[in-house]
């Protein structure tokens, strides 16, 4: 203990205190402050970068999910549209068929009706002609009868022959 | 441009160092050298004296000494300025004036006062005395010690390492201005800074307060570590083995945790809550003694003792070379000494780090106790 106390140098104590205080002050000012600040800056920078990367990754995932959803929706829409189109087409065809059927039946009906009419008209004319002919024949017969009985008879016979030919 | 200036400065310093070394070495002190054996260190007593002399602070910076062919004792190194506060005020001279004498036989006269150096301490002789006289326990009877502010070897060590640390870490700090990740030697320093901050300061002081104390802890850590390591080099610094230096560091820690202690800390120290009132004063005495005396004392003694012991052990093992020469033979003693001192030096490299770590760690712990919010601090 005595030698320890003897070895203790108060002068060195004072000198080293001064030097160490100066060293601590200088180191803090010129080394530790800028170093620690830069390190902290760098660490927070790294942290931010990692967080940003994580966010970007999440956003990416969201985007991808959105995309998939969009694609799905688009596909569904397309399918729906195609189905609609098919329905419309089918309807149109069906309608067109119906219309066509109606029109043809009407046309046929009309045609039949006009045929009937023509036939009636033709028959009527024939009847009329027959009547006229009959009247003409009757006239001629009557005229001949009035002149010669035999001749008249011959005439009627001849006329009747013609009539059957007709 | 800056780099060029630095290089020039470095060369200048190197040149000055070299020339002063040569100049000092050329001095011979045949006249005053009372060692007639040429400075040999052979016996156990001589080894012990040599080692004890080594772990003390020194007023010269000597690398080695040898005896020339003419029988002159020569020392290679350089002198350091002696600055002392004597009875007549400040006195300064170069330590070379003592001619490496360490037992009080060389008297230096300055300002009409006489000074002698005994066991690395400078004494002022009483008025009228011309030589130092000793009593039977080898204490000077007609001289007294002085306040010695000399630039001793330890002070040189502190300055050298201080400048080195400033140079290294300010360069690291500058690197961050231009890049995110430092290059070169700074890349080695960065993880060390991070280590002290994340493993010592942050966990022991706590997230909220550690920032304020990290600068001090970093300085202390690197100061102690680099000085410990430089003590293992042939430069032979024993700065962290000086009580004055470790005491100074311990007092810094004491001042910091005493000044920054919060209400909780003082409450637990002086008037411990939760114990019977009668016991409180007793506890207060124990707590105060613990905080103000035992903690800093443990800090200063641990560092001092470990580093001094390391130096003593390494040197003792080297001394095996001489002390066991007779029983083991030259080759055996030298081999044993080399092997043992090699491994002990390896361990000392570890101890150098460990002691820096422990000192910083305990400082952080004590500070952490003082600033903790919900303290169990006692």
Name the residue with higher pLDDT: B155 or B38.
B155
Examine the pLDDT at A88 and tell me if it is beyond 70: yes
For residue A43, give the chain B residue with the closest CA: B180
What is the CA angle B359-B365-B367, rounded to 5?
Answer: 100
Collapsing DSSP to helix, strand or coil, B221 comes out as helix
ipTM of the shown complex:
0.81
Residue A112: per-residue pLDDT:
92
Examine the pLDDT at B146 and tell me if it is beyond 90: no
Examine the pLDDT at A57 and tell me if it is beyond 60: yes
Examine the pLDDT at A90 and tell me if it is beyond 90: yes
Tokens of B375: 């303290």
Tokens of B243: 């009580």
For residue B224, give the chain A residue with the closest CA: A20
CB contact under 8 A, A11 and B147: yes
Partners of residue B115 on adjacent β-strands: B108, B124
Question: A2 CA to chain B: closest CA distance, Å?
Answer: 13
Share of chain A above pLDDT 70, in %: 95
Angle, helix B279-289 to helix B263-270, in steps of 10 degrees: 120
Q: Which pLDDT band holds residue B10 (cuts at 50, 70, 90)?
A: low
Q: What is the mean pLDDT of residues B346-360?
A: 94
Q: Which pLDDT band holds residue B6 (cuts at 50, 70, 90)?
A: low
Phi, psi of B107 (to 5 degrees): -105, 125
Q: What is the mean pLDDT of residues B124-151?
A: 80
DSSP string covering B82-149, please?
A: EEEEETTEEEEEEGGGGTT--EEEEEEEETTEEEEEETTEEEEEPTT--S--B-TTS-BSSEEE-EE-
Query: Which of A8, A19, A27, A29 to substitute to test the interface with B, most B CBs within 10 Å?
Result: A27
Tokens of B86: 């004597």
**Average pLDDT score over chain B:** 83
CB contact under 8 A, B155 and A16: yes
Asked if the C-beta of B165 comes within 8 angstroms of chain A's C-beta atoms, the answer is yes
Question: B243 CA to chain A: closest CA distance, Å?
Answer: 6
Phi, psi of B360 (to 5 degrees): -65, -45
Q: Which of B146, B169, B245 sits opposite A16 (nearest CB)?
A: B245
Asked if the C-beta of B253 comes within 8 angstroms of chain A's C-beta atoms, the answer is no
Residue B126: per-residue pLDDT:
80
Question: B83 CA to chain A: closest CA distance, Å?
Answer: 10
CB contact under 8 A, A33 and B215: yes
Residues 189-228 of B with CB under 8 A from A: 190, 193-194, 197, 211, 214-216, 218-220, 223
Q: Which of A11, A22, A32 sits opposite B215 (nearest CB)?
A: A32
Residues 61-80 of B with CB under 8 A from A: none
Asked if B176 contacts A35 with a C-beta cutoff of 8 angstroms, the reply is yes
Residue B5: per-residue pLDDT:
64
List chain A residues with CB under 8 Å of B220.
Answer: 24
Query: Which of B57, B219, B225, B297 to substitute to test the interface with A, most A CBs within 10 Å?
Result: B219
Q: Which residues contact residue A16 at a Cβ distance below 8 angstroms, ignoring those fewer than 6 apart? A: B154, B155, B158, B242, B244, B245, B248
CB contact under 8 A, A8 and B244: yes
Cα–Cα distance for residue pair B279/B46, rounded to 1 Å: 55
Question: B271 CA to chain A: closest CA distance, Å?
Answer: 33
Asked if the C-beta of A18 comes within 8 angstroms of chain B's C-beta atoms, the answer is no
Taking only the tens place, the pLDDT of each residue in B100-116 is: 777 778 888 887 788 88
Residues 23-52 of A with CB under 8 A from B: 23-24, 26-28, 30-36, 38-39, 42, 45
Run of H or E residues at B60: strand B60-67
List chain B residues with CB under 8 Å of A11.
Answer: 84-85, 146-150, 244
Question: A52 CA to chain B: closest CA distance, Å?
Answer: 19
Residues 338-357 of B with CB under 8 A from A: none
CB contact under 8 A, A26 and B197: no
Residues 102-141 of B with CB under 8 A from A: 121
A138: left (phi over 0), alpha (psi -120 to 50) or beta: alpha
Q: Which residues contact residue B171 at a Cβ distance below 8 angstroms, ignoring those fewer than 6 apart? A: B185, B186
Q: Which of B152, B193, B248 sits opposite A20 (nearest CB)?
A: B248
**Average pLDDT score over chain A:** 88
Q: Which of A13, A24, A39 sits opposite B247 (nearest CB)?
A: A13
Asked if the C-beta of A7 comes within 8 angstroms of chain B's C-beta atoms, the answer is yes
Tokens of A42: 């760098």
Asked if B108 contacts B97 with a C-beta cutoff of 8 angstroms, the reply is yes
Q: Which pLDDT band holds residue A94 (cuts at 50, 70, 90)?
A: very high
Question: A18 CA to chain B: closest CA distance, Å?
Answer: 10
Share of chain A above pLDDT 90, in %: 62
Cα–Cα distance for residue pair B264/B276, rounded to 1 Å: 18
CB contact under 8 A, A27 and B245: no
Asked if B312 contacts B51 with a C-beta cutoff of 8 angstroms, the reply is yes
Taking only the tens place, the pLDDT of each residue in B200-227 is: 999 999 888 888 999 999 999 999 999 9
Question: B127 CA to chain A: closest CA distance, Å?
Answer: 23
Asked if the C-beta of A20 comes within 8 angstroms of chain B's C-beta atoms, the answer is yes
For residue B122, give the chain A residue with the closest CA: A9
Q: What is the mean pLDDT of residues B366-375?
A: 81
């Amino acid at each position: 203990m005595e030698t320890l106390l003897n070895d203790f140098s108060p002068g060195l104590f004072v000198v080293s205190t001064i030097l160490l205080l100066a060293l601590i002050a200088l180191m803090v000012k010129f080394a530790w402050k800028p170093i620690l600040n830069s390190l902290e800056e760098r660490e927070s920078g790294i942290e931010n970068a990692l967080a940003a990367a994580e966010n970007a990754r999440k956003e990416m995932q969201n985007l991808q999910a959105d995309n998939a959803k969009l694609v799905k929706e688009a596909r569904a829409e397309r399918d729906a549209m195609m189905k609609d189109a098919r329905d419309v087409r089918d309807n149109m065809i069906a309608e067109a068929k119906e219309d066509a059927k109606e029109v043809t039946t009407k046309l046929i009906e009309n045609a039949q009706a006009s045929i009937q009419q023509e036939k009636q008209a033709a028959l009527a004319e024939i009847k009329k002609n027959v009547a006229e002919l009959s009247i003409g024949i009757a006239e001629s017969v009557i005229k001949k009868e009035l002149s010669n009985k035999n001749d008249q008879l011959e005439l009627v016979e001849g006329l009747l022959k013609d009539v059957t030919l007709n | 441009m800056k780099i060029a200036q630095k290089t020039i400065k470095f060369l200048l310093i190197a040149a000055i160092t070299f020339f002063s070394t040569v100049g000092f070495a050329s001095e011979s002190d045949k006249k005053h050298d009372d060692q007639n054996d040429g400075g040999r260190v052979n016996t156990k007593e001589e080894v012990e004296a040599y080692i004890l002399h080594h772990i003390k602070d020194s007023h010269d910076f000597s690398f080695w000494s040898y005896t020339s062919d003419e029988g002159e004792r020569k020392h290679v190194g350089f002198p350091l300025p002696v600055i002392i506060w004597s009875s007549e005020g400040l006195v300064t001279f170069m330590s070379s004036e003592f001619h490496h004498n360490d037992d009080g036989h060389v008297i230096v006269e300055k300002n009409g006062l006489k000074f002698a150096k005994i066991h690395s301490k400078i004494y002022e002789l009483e008025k009228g005395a011309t030589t130092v006289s000793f009593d039977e326990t080898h204490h000077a009877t007609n001289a007294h010690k002085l306040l010695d502010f000399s630039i001793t070897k330890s002070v040189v060590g502190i300055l050298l390492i201080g400048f080195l640390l400033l140079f290294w870490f300010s360069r690291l700090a500058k690197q961050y201005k231009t890049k995110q990740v430092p290059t070169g030697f700074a890349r080695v320093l960065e993880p060390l800074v991070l280590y002290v901050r994340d493993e010592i300061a942050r966990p022991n002081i706590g997230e909220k307060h550690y920032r304020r104390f990290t600068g001090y802890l970093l300085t202390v850590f690197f100061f102690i570590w680099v000085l410990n390591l430089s003590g293992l080099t042939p430069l032979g610094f024993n700065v962290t083995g000086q009580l004055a230096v470790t005491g100074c560091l311990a007092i810094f820690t004491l001042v910091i945790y005493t000044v920054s202690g919060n209400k909780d800390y003082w409450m637990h120290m002086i008037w411990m809550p939760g114990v019977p009132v009668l016991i409180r004063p007793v506890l207060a005495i124990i707590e105060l003694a613990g905080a103000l005396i035992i903690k800093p004392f443990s800090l200063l003694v641990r560092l001092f003792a470990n580093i001094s012991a390391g130096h003593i052990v390494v040197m003792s093992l080297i001394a095996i070379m001489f002390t066991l020469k007779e029983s083991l033979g030259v080759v055996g003693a030298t081999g044993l000494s080399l092997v043992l001192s090699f491994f002990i030096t390896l361990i000392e490299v570890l101890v150098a780090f460990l002691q820096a770590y422990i000192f910083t760690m305990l400082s952080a712990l004590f500070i952490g106790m003082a600033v903790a919010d919900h303290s169990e601090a006692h």
